Each structure stands twice: as C-alpha cells, then as structure tokens.
Amino acid sequence: MGKFKIKPTTLKDIATELNISIATVSKSLKSYSDVSRSTRAAVVKMVKKMNYNPNVAAVNLRTQQSKTIGVIIPTVAHQFFSEVLSGIIEEAEKNGYLVITLQSNEQVDSEKRQILLLQHKRVDGILISLSNETYKFKHIEEVIQNNIPVVLFDKISKIVNCSKVTINDCQAAYDAVTYLIKKGYKKIAHFRGSLKPQNSIDRFVGYKKALVDNGISFDPLLVYLCDNNDDFNDGFQNARKLLDEQPDVDAIFAITDSVAVGIYNCFHEVGIKVPEDIAIFGFSNWFMSSVLTPSLSTIQQPGFEMGRKSCEILLEEIKNLKNDISYNFQQVVLPTSLVIRNST
C-alpha cells in the first residue's frame, strides 16, 4: 500500500465550505470590525472543525519576523539561570514569541558558534549572558551591526553598545562584607570568580572597598580564585587550601552559593563548625541555601525579574526596529538584598 500525505487545511478550504471569500476568512481570524459577529463565529467554528493551523513560515515571510528569540546562557547548572530563563520564556510567550535556548558552557568559542547558529535561524533578537572566557566582543558587535537587537544580562561588558540588565554586584558585595565586619569578623577571605567576567570583578571590588572603608587592610593572600567552572569543587579545594594557609580566617565571602556549598562540605569533613569557627556568606540565594545546616546567609539576586525585564526590552527593540522607530539603549540595574541566616 502506497504512502499518502493528508493535505493541510487552507484558508481557501474554509472559505469554500462557508461560501465566503478568503479575505473574509482572514479578516474574521484577525477580528476585523467590518466582519459581522455571526460570520466571525462561523469561521472560528469551521477552523476548529477542519483543524486549520496557520502556515507560520508564510506569516513570518509576510511580516519579515520569525517571532523567535535566542538566549545564550553560560550554564544550566545554576538555579539563577533557570530562574532567568523562566522570566524570559514567560515574557516571550505572552507576546507570541518562541525561545531558542543555548548553553555556552563558559566557552567563548561555543558562544561564537551559537551566535552564528541563531543568526542562521533568523531570530529576531538575542539575549546573552557572557561566558567566563569572553573578553573580546567583535562577534556580538557584528550581530548588532546586522540590525539584530542584543540585550546583555547578568554577565555583561561595559564597552558593548547595547541594552543591559544587571544588578549592582559591587554594592551587593560591599553590603555583605560590611555586614560581616559589623558583626565583629576581622579576617575575611574572598573566594572570587574568574578574572574576566564583569560581575566577578565587581564583587571583588566591593569586597575590597568594604574592608578599606572599615579600616581593615586588604590582603591579597586572602583572595582565592574559583575559575574551573565547577563551583562546588572550587569551593571545596580552596577551603582546603585556606585551612592550610590561613587557619585564623574567621569569615568567607563566596562568589556564589554553590561555591559556599563546596566550602561547607570541606569544613564538615574536617570538623570545622559554621558559624562557631568560621562564618560563610554566599551570593544568589539558591533554594539550597535555606536548607543547608546551618542555613546560608546570602544575597537575593532577582533572576526571574532579570529574565523578564531583559526579554521585555528586547521585544521593545525588535518592535521599534520593525517600525523604523529610533530607540535608546537601556541600562537597568535591579535591586538586591541581604538574606541573613545562621551561617553568619
């Protein structure tokens, strides 16, 4: 028996069944006011009966839009980025957009390939949180020059001319370390992130400034680098080094909550008690931070709102570009707050 393909229902098929014009069917589906309510109702009923689905490719060709946006994140392992994606997807779907999500794995070469892929897919715009390796930005600037709107979020570059949605990482770190100092901690180590990302730099600057502003000399030997893209292991291994090299440290400010979890695990193995022997302050407010024992003090980072706002700005720029309306790039800084728990 030969194979056969069922031909999809078209507007013409619906028009023939109802003995009306194709234009009337199209107008009915778009709720034009010059079509009677009874005709619109009849069209909707027939659409359901005949299982009509619009030809998305044809619609996109007419509107010169794919109704698709691309998102590149460094990793899916962080709860923060899953919250960001939730915000992006909710805002995109609300506006009839599909989201293509890609992961750079903190590798700039992967980030470049994915940007090319998204351009080949003819996405209407791109949202990016930069990889830890990204410090040259030609591949992003070329996208913008090709009239594809780009919004950077979380891990950004200050020199790329586009809209950005961030938090004030420097101020958040400053507030956390100042809190530790006010609680009486004097020798505070910092488990910092990689050297290139702007948010890692800013959190380090905030840590250092809080010490100096409170009369504590900055000691570079108290700064431990977490740059292996494995936060848990970075935290664990650096905690071991800290105990060997700086056993009198009384508090640690960690670049992320997942680094802090690695620190916890190391201390648990060797019998170091938190906060009796040493205090720990994290960053991001993962769900895990509240269920650790003792619960982890951290910084509330608004992941969902960052994703939602980034997408909102991108869709606004896509709309303005389509309608040939000029627009200014936006720099949005979302608020953070300290979440004080038992680890401090």
Per-residue pLDDT of 107-136, as tens digits, reads 999 999 999 999 999 999 999 999 999 999
Range of the domain at 108: 66-167+303-334
pLDDT at 336: 97
When pLDDT is cut at 50, 70 and 90, the band that residue 58 belongs to is low
Q: Are residues 227 and 259 in the same domain?
A: yes
Q: Considering only 14-23, 106-115, 145-154, 187-196, which range has the smallest mean pLDDT?
A: 14-23
CA angle 48, 52, 58 (to 5 degrees): 150
Q: Are residues 309 and 161 in the same domain?
A: yes
Q: Are residues 108 and 208 in the same domain?
A: no
Q: Are residues 109 and 29 in the same domain?
A: no
The number of domains in the chain is 3
From the list 262, 289, 302, the residue with the least C-alpha distance to 344 is: 289
Q: Considering only 37-41, 58-62, 199-203, 253-257, which range has the smallest mean pLDDT?
A: 58-62
Determine contact, residues 279/180, Cβ cutoff 8 Å: yes
When pLDDT is cut at 50, 70 and 90, the band that residue 76 belongs to is confident
Q: Return the SS3 of 258.
A: helix
pLDDT at 99: 97
Q: How many C-beta atoms surround the C-beta of residue 329 within 10 A?
A: 15
Q: Are residues 186 and 151 in the same domain?
A: no
Q: Are residues 268 and 206 in the same domain?
A: yes
Residue 1 lies in a domain: no
Please give the Cα distance from 138 to 111 (Å, whole number).
12
Q: Are residues 200 and 118 in the same domain?
A: no
Determine contact, residues 321/153, Cβ cutoff 8 Å: no
Q: Are residues 207 and 256 in the same domain?
A: yes
Q: Are residues 179 and 283 in the same domain?
A: yes
Percent of the chain with pLDDT strictly greater than 70: 94
What digits encode the pLDDT tens for the residues 137-153?
999 999 999 999 999 99
- Give the mean model confidence (pLDDT) for residues 27-31: 79
Q: Are residues 241 and 144 in the same domain?
A: no
